[in-house]
Structure 1
């Protein structure tokens, strides 16, 4: 642990750069120019970006560096309890004398006093929405509006975190230009970071940078996160650590920053977490044990429920932390000294928002859950009040269940943090939600009772009137068939994946209702299909495994027989009977010999070809037995710790007398060595801490290693150079026999016990589970990732190449790739007892507790996967689907054919953001980060820069709308040649094309709408008051949501004349919402409406006028109709993709997070992007054809017959009647 900070650091550390630091501010030249440009163009500028990207430094220091101080007067403003009072206090403090008390008047006085324009910089504006009241927010909006409409020489800069940007959308109606001049502060590129590091060191007199290129490269590499990104606060802390470590060794200047020093400090994952932990420990070590928890209490008091920092005065901090004032002041003094907090007059707060994230991450799981509940409750309540207490914004039953689980804790936290009045208001909201759902349940129950009563009356009438009875029988047959199909579909979740898919497909083909459709989609897209099912007649399977070479399967049955199967799932020969209850069974690589250990410790050797079984030796205390890969020898240990080697004839080769009593013994994977662990002894307790490697005969000790604790398990790499060893105290070690190094693996939790550790064949990747969390380590022993489960993890398995991990949880086996991306689920009817990879890693073998085995191909037969070495940023598909083009984060362009084979590639020097593939796949248009267009012709292999910026394109990608720097609009063909132009200037205007690319809509900055078509070549102005507008898919109609007392959907023809108007029956979408997307179904009969920053969407149907709500858990980022209009797809902010029916019912929730998706134009193919993997699926209407292709009709009939027998299902009405008659 480093000593407490004693020497003042020359770095900014976590402090923002100010105007005094102009000579030390680097890496933001482009952003400075952009900010100045925006300030010259507008009086109101919005600056936003992720936490830790340097927004405050940019507006404080970057602005001062770009604009002379004589040209403007900067006023920095933070909320500090109440934004209005703070603003008045700051402005009054600038003036020597003033009589004004209103903020606007004070601004005018300050302008006269400063004799130059004044810039009001509202920094960390998210504090207004985290802690501010509705009245304070309303005042601030009015203040901005008043300044904007005044003639004062005043400009305003709003600085806010990106994840709070959605809060500003509510004020866009009052401030129409709020988002017109905005700037996103991106994380720094590697080139800019190099400039920051070099520039920072060059400005510090007593620091010398040695071997600049290598040192800077090492610093960047050591600060690169797992997501390949950099965070400025982390970099500043790391630079400070470099300086401090070298300064401690040689206090006299200068301090030399060398590659050796950087390598000595090394890579520190989450350096800010390490720094916080070190400084926190240095403070707690100064306190008595009973006062040490107070440090965590004080730090958590500075963090809000949202994980942002919170400021405190001493009185409020004393009330929140509930600590004696003397202890509190002592801790505050130390926290300020260690630069974890800063004090501004009477206010304390954390030094940086990044510290708040680290502290929030360290909270207990229960506290985070409570904070999350309160955060969602406050957000839901705010929306409920804003939308005038609409019933559809009451809390869902799921949210109410979460609140009920922690009700007392939530109630107490609300009372303490919000005050009695606000807490009671939110609790009334909770109670109103509960009462609403109780009323809904009663209503549904009454409806069901009424239905039941009607059915009884129908039956009575049928029994009286014969004629009516015959008609009713016909009706009953149809209803019974529907009900029975529903019952069968509902039971599909109990079936294995192939049974379930075949069953629901049969039901869907007979009756394609929404329930059957939902079941079909779920069982096809969310569940993998096994290639073979392994069952034995009249007996259950007790155990399964591959032979060491993977060419055979070993099955152990309940009838005391051992069976041999081939990897395709076919039995080879009759089973071999071996008497006794099996303890272990192993199969030799040649698939002929088997060794069985049965109770109480007898060993048998069997030949599956001759069906001969013989006893090996007379010892009945054998505890372990394993067969060599070549099948020539058997290695055993008994209860006395004696190790014996036998040959295949059952003769003893020898007893390893030279060894101490042995507890564990095994052959190495290459059969060249023996691995032993001695038994714990009273004479020498260190024996079972020692791992020993012997030659094949056991006469020569080749290597040994003693570990700190008793060895629990050991696994060896293929050639035996690497061993992973777990011990009884929960630690895991990596023993590198070549380098003679024993490295403890990094552990993330205490009290974990790893009984089974997995190692890839090359020794480069390690995986283990403690029953709750799966951990992955690299070859250096560092944790590279982890995955927590709520359910108990039964076991895990690592593929030989280390790229795929199986996690067994109850009846499911989940597949995760090396980037922790979900690859699918292997579902079973019963709990899974075994899941293993074949030695070549291409096949998975599972065994369930109901005595069945299953073989699964690692490559999913349902789809084609396109793997990439890095994340996929964008992709596009040719019109016929024959070519798929992908763009990676490393700016590599790949072209694939429909079978998933790469056919072309290109590395681009500019960083590309977007690609567009022409219909024939011959040309690829690319847009870089500067909106520059490039065209790559795959035929002549040329990459050509193109003038202009792409605005939109036709559905078939044959026509592209481009805007030049002068604002001129051109239509390009697929070769990038201009074929037409627009008569309107497109600068600061938004333009959209119809699907066929012959018509365009233009929306000006002032909100005016124009329609233009290539046919009539006239710009037609549309009526004002349109909240959103688009073109119908066929390009023949203009459709808009018209704002008014009652919103309406308006339709115009291509001449701009109104042809229809449909007032909305419920709700006003233009009031309080900002529409981000407006999609028309292919038929033009439905409209999908997405709202910016909202977790809901709406679907409007023309013939009924109904406006149905599509409710989501997270913010809806995109949505569209399928090409045939039969379903709706949406994507939420955390990658959750949902399919909906056109009536608004959920059809499918995709398993795993998705970054992008797209249908092929004919709907036959569906594409998804999951980080570095692109998947090509059959479209929803092509599931049945896929099933017919991969499972023959005869096989499907056989499966349905098995399902019918196993679940006692009647598949026809008359069969049910006959069954009832027989009973």
Structure 2
């Protein structure tokens, strides 16, 4: 059986008490303060071991020596109000039965204490961990004040042998004291948990390694080198330097696992962050075909854009992963200590085991994005090179074809150039303007259709009135684009058009005039009866819903018909553009036929010239030979 004795990024729990070394004196000191005060704030740097000290040191000791009943809350989901969350935890962990109905959260909290004291005279300890989550979650001021009132009520009531412990990161201590300024006793008595020193950590980690299965014997000097590598930045390289405890635990867990697997690790030359990186990489690679789902879960859902940890419900985590993979991925990541899971009232919550682990996942995400960006750059460069070669070859081929078919090619080139310029300068802008007006018309219809169900119709009315005022400008732009089509056709012809081109130009001008006329008709159609809008807004104002809906339906019908007519114009423009494209293809086909004919003609002329020269020069050669 293999059992890694190091919890890695997760805190020690009561079950790990036998392997929790180096904190005996501190545990006794904190336990005495907890018993002596109604409320104690335990604070310290992130990863210093606050949770481990409480869970594996103080709480088991108090349960054994004083028979304390413990209520633990170690996560504060953003979608749960904190006071009802605490009340539910008390009824659950003190085995008080179902949460009472028709009671406010504050009354339910008081009921829990009263019921617990009636059932047993054993002291109660309420341990609230990760309190900093309350200040980063989306809890309202009302919810936070309710929790504050509930906690203050617990200690002010002087319940028999009730103790409260708040555990919080040191960088949030100021916010806690600001929050409890009016209830100062909640944070009046504090206890700092600092990181272990290098010397303390070396002794604790070597003893812990010997508790694993199989047991490992670690050399103090080798482990000292690693612990110095994970000391608090800025501290001297001595045994008195403080260690980033959680990071040291992760490194030791990975080192222990690598040695069990038979990996030769020279600790003296090892880099702690490299060990952590290998451990994380190995954990993800060990998922084989499940890697992509695990990567997406870790990098995209369990850290935010700044690399901070996120709390995710099990339901949310399962939605991220493929259904058939969710249970295995979550289970394996949790067993590997990459994920920390907490369960309460039948719901489970996941987060990355520690901020250091979040840092490595964040670095992986950044590295992956850089790699993907580099791959995209290389791919784009290769595409550009191929495009340049293709353009060069095409240019050479076009030049060769042009040299062979110069007469017909010039004429075809002029026709093709005319069509291309006409598309670019006339049809495409016209199509874009029509598309924009059509989109605005559809949005207008949609907004108008929902005006009777809008929460604030006045805002919708203001938007519709603004849209109606600006709509003539939009139609005017379309008509200008239609007239610009004829102008563009005239510029393309340049007064040098042949009979065929003159006929085509006449058709373009006629088409542009028809488009402009139809747009004008549509504008008049949708702008007719403006008083109907006034009637709609008046009905909404007085609350005549039936009249408002009937008027709305009439207006929406008119607007939808206008949109349909715009769509018909757009289709006509697209058909005209398609006809130009088809004609260009036909011209290309004729060019190919002419090229083949020219090649056959050239070959024929060449052969005939050769035969003629041979016939003519042959007798002269024969004569010289004679």
Structure possessing the higher radius of gyration over alpha carbons? 2
Q: Indicate the structure whose relative CO is greater, using CA pairs within 8 Å and at least 6 residues apart.
A: 2
TM-score scaled by length of structure 2: 0.49
| Structure with the higher fraction of residues in strand conformation | 1
| Structure with the higher fraction of residues in helix conformation | 2
